[in-house]
């Protein structure tokens, strides 16, 4: 039965924010693939995120820890895994500052466990047409930008936080396994994602939740830091497209071409929330409270996604305000 599927894809972290949308894209649009979601269901992973397709014939859920090699090895054997889309990671910068070791064990050792399992199962110099190890990473590996310029695929790595250092290390291990063992790999580095099902510790859902409860909205420093925001469903579609079409060893940046200062974004959310909650305009903005800046807070991230755009198969959503409104509606349900 398992081998009736032409691909058996192990999606790690498929109950997390981005992973959920990648799983949805695969399960709904590729019935000929078996999608095996392995997730430890820590604080940021929720299996109810996959409830809509939980009974689909081409979906399986396995609770497991990528830090445990024997668990990963068993999954490769049990499902005859042909491909990996690796999203499982500790991803919150503030948490990495408080406890860096958690990020080392999950993001670095967990990734190496998966690489070893893939190498063992597929052999050295595996064929890209039959297998791929797709590693999902972040633009934070590149460090910080000033007022001008963009990260490209050739930008040197310059991680500034324990989180970005752990993701940089995992990226390097993926490339090393490609060069050393001929493992077919693809890496993508994305900008900040937004959309439904994000755990409420990141800027947008934090702001929404604070407004709902009439609580102070914390904004680091003066709110001048700039981020490029990517609609999560665009990201999922880009991952699935590159999973099929990118050459082995390639890296792609995935961005939204959508830069916002943190304070401007928070104020936009405040305005939308006042409208949706029937509050006088300015009510939510009054909740903004500037707090001590994060240690080592990178000033600006901005991605040059022209390599991806030039494929002609990806265009990021242009209407940020409507997608932000859709995101808010999810949290108001």
Could you give the CA distance from residue 159 to residue 144 in angstroms, rounded to a whole number? 8
Q: Looking at residue 237, what DSSP letter applies?
A: H
Could you give the CA distance from residue 108 to residue 7 in angstroms, rounded to a whole number? 26
Summarize the confidence of residues 164-172 as an average pLDDT. 97
Nearest Cα residue to 20 out of 189, 136, 162, 138: 136
pLDDT in tens, 260-311: 999 999 999 999 999 999 999 999 999 999 999 888 788 899 999 999 999 9
329 is catalytic: no
140 is catalytic: yes
Q: Specify the pTM.
A: 0.96
Catalytic residue, candidates 142, 163, 177, 194: 163
Catalytic residue, candidates 25, 140, 228, 259: 140
Domain 2-194+230-258+302-309 has CATH 3.40.190.10: no
Could you give the CA distance from residue 151 to residue 259 in angstroms, rounded to a whole number? 13
Tokens of 29: 């649009």
pLDDT in tens, 36-88: 999 999 877 888 999 999 999 999 999 999 999 999 999 999 999 999 999 99
Q: What is the CATH number assigned to the segment(s) 203-225+260-300+319-332? A: 3.90.25.10
Under 8 Å between Cβ of 146 and 138? no
Q: What pLDDT, on a 0 to 100 scale, did the predictor assign at position 93?
A: 82
68 is catalytic: no
Summarize the confidence of residues 170-174 as an average pLDDT. 98
pLDDT in tens, 102-127: 999 999 999 999 999 999 999 999 99
The DSSP H or E segment spanning 36 is: strand 33-39
Catalytic residue, candidates 139, 153, 259, 267: 139
Nearest Cα residue to 168 out of 135, 121, 204: 135
Task: Give the domain ranges of the chain.
Answer: 2-194+230-258+302-309, 203-225+260-300+319-332
């Amino acid at each position: 039965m398992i081998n009736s599927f032409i691909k058996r894809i192990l999606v790690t972290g498929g109950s997390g924010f981005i992973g959920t949308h990648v799983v949805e894209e695969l399960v709904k649009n590729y019935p000929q693939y078996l999608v095996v979601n392995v997730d430890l269901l820590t604080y940021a992973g929720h299996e109810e995120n996959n409830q809509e397709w939980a009974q689909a014939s081409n979906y399986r859920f396995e609770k497991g820890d990528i830090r445990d090699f024997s668990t990963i090895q068993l999954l490769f054997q049990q499902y005859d895994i042909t491909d990996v889309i690796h999203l499982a990671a500790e991803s919150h910068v503030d948490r990495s500052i408080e406890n860096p070791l958690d990020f080392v064990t999950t993001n670095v050792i967990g990734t190496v466990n998966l690489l070893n399992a893939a190498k063992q199962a597929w052999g050295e110099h595996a064929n890209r047409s039959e297998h791929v190890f797709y590693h999902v990473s972040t633009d934070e590996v590149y460090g910080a930008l000033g007022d001008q310029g963009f990260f490209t695929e050739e930008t040197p790595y310059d991680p500034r936080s324990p989180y970005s250092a752990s993701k940089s290390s995992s990226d390097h291990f993926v490339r090393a396994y490609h060069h050393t063992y001929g493992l077919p790999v693809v890496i993508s580095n994305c900008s900040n994602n937004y959309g439904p099902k994000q755990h409420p510790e990141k800027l947008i859902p934090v702001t929404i939740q604070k407004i709902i409860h009439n609580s102070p909205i914390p904004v680091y420093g003066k709110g001048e830091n700039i981020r490029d925001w990517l609609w999560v469903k665009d990201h999922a579609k880009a991952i699935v497209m590159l999973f099929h079409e990118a050459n082995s060893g390639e890296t792609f940046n995935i961005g939204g071409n959508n830069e916002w200062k943190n304070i401007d974004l928070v104020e936009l959310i405040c305005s939308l929330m006042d409208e949706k909650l029937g509050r006088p305009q300015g009510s939510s903005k009054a909740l903004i409270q500037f707090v001590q800046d994060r240690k080592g807070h990178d000033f600006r991230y901005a991605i040059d996604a022209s390599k991806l755009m030039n494929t002609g198969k990806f265009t990021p959503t242009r209407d940020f305000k409507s997608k932000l409104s859709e995101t808010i509606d999810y949290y108001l349900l």
